[in-house]
Structure 1
Amino acid sequence: MTARRRKAARILLLDGQDRILLFLGQDPAEPDETWWFTPGGGLEPGEGFREAAERELVEETGLRGVAFGPLVAYGTVSFSYQGQRYEQEQWFHLARTARTELDHSGMTEDEHAVLLGARWWTVDELRATAETVYPAGLADFLARLLAEGPPVDPVRL
C-alpha cells in the first residue's frame, strides 16, 4: 500500500506550571491501542505551519490568544489510520497559555473519533509513564526546553 504524504503542524503547549498538553487517542480501526500525542494536524492548501498550528489549536482546544513561540523541533513519522498508511513531515511550535480549560466543540467528526481524553503532564509524569507518548523522546526534549529555552535551530525528534 502506498503511503499518503502530508505535512503537519504540531504544538508543544505549556501552561503556567510548565505542564504540556497531550491528547489520548486511538485509531478507530485499532481500538485496543492508545497513545498520547500533541495537538496539531495537517496543513490545508496554501497554509503555512504557523497558520495551521494556530487553527488546529483553536479547533482542538478552543484556546485563543495563545502565545506562540518559535519552531523548536521537526521530524517524520509513519503511521496507519483507518487502514491508510501515512508519511507525515511534522513541525513543532512552542506555545504557552495561562488557560487550561479545554473546549473540544470545534473538532471535526474524525478528531472526535480519535480523541479519548486530554491531560496536562509534567516532565516527571512523562518520564514515569508506561503509556505510549509521541513524539518519542518528548520528556527529555521538554526538560531541555524548560532548562535551556528554545534551540537556535529546530532539532530533529
Structure 2
Amino acid sequence: MAAAPLREAARVIVLDNDQRVLLLRYDENEGFWATPGGSLETGETYTAAALRELHEELGIDTTSVVLGTQLAERSQEHAVGGREVRQVERYFPAHLTAADVDASLATQPDNIREHRWWTLDELRATHETVYPLGLADLTTDYIRNGVPDRPVVLL
C-alpha cells in the first residue's frame, strides 16, 4: 500500500489576556474542537499559512498579529476531505482579544460551526474531543516557562 501523501499544516494557539484559548468547533468525525489553522499552499511558509488561516477562518486582521516561536509539532494520519493524508502540523502561539475576531469577515469558514474561548480548567475538564491532545498542558507550560528549547512532539 502506498504511503499517504504529506499535508503540511500550520496551527495557532490563540491566547487572550485572561489566558483563554480560542478553539473552533467542527461537526465532522463525530465532532471536535481544534486550534485555528490549515494546510500550507505551494511555496508558503508555516508562519504565512498560520496568518492566512487566522484571516480566512476568523476574519482576523493579521497585519498586527505577531506569531511566537514554534511551540509544538504533531504528525498524524487521518482523512481530510475523504482522503487519507499524513498531516504534519506546527503550532505557533499568538496573543489576541475577542475583539480581534470577526467571523462575519471570514473568507473560508471551512465548516466551522462555532468558535469559543476556553479556560485551561475547561480544557482539562471537558469530555469533548479537542485537538491537539495535551493542548491544556502545552499551553500551561508555555504560559509558565515560555517557548521550549525545541518544539514539543504531540500525539
Structure (1/2) with the larger strand percentage: 1
Secondary structure of the 2:92 match is strand
Query: Does the 8 Å contact 1:9/1:90 carry over to 2?
Result: yes
Say if 1:100 and 1:121 are closer, same or farther in 2 by CA, change over 3 A.
farther
2:99 & 2:34 partners in 1: Cα distance? 17
Q: Secondary structure at the match of 1:22?
A: strand
Check the 8 A contact 1:44/1:52 in 2, yes or no. yes
Runs of 4+ in 1 over 4 A off after TM superposition: none
For structure 2, which runs of at least 5 residues remain unmatched after alignment? none
**C-alpha contact (below 8 Å) 1:63/1:99 kept by paired residues:** no
Q: Which amino acid in 2 is paired with 1:106?
A: A
Q: Which amino acid aligns with 2:102?
A: D
Aligned to 1:98: 97
- The correspondence for 2:40, drawn from 39, 43, 47, is 43
TM superposition score normalised by structure 1: 0.87
Quickly say closer, same or farther: Cα 1:66–1:7, change in 2 above 3 A: same
Partners of 2:11 and 2:107 in 1: CA distance: 15
Letter in 2 for 1:121: W
Q: How many Å separate the matches in 2 of 1:83 and 1:98?
A: 34
Matched pairs, number: 150
Q: Measure, in 1, the Cα distance between the counterparts of 2:141 and 2:55.
A: 27
1:17-48 CA-to-partner distances (Å, cap 9, x unmatched) read 11111001132xx5xx0000000000001100
Output the CA distance in 2 between the equivalents of 1:49 and 1:25: 22
Q: Which residue of 1 is the match for residue 135 of structure 2? A: 138
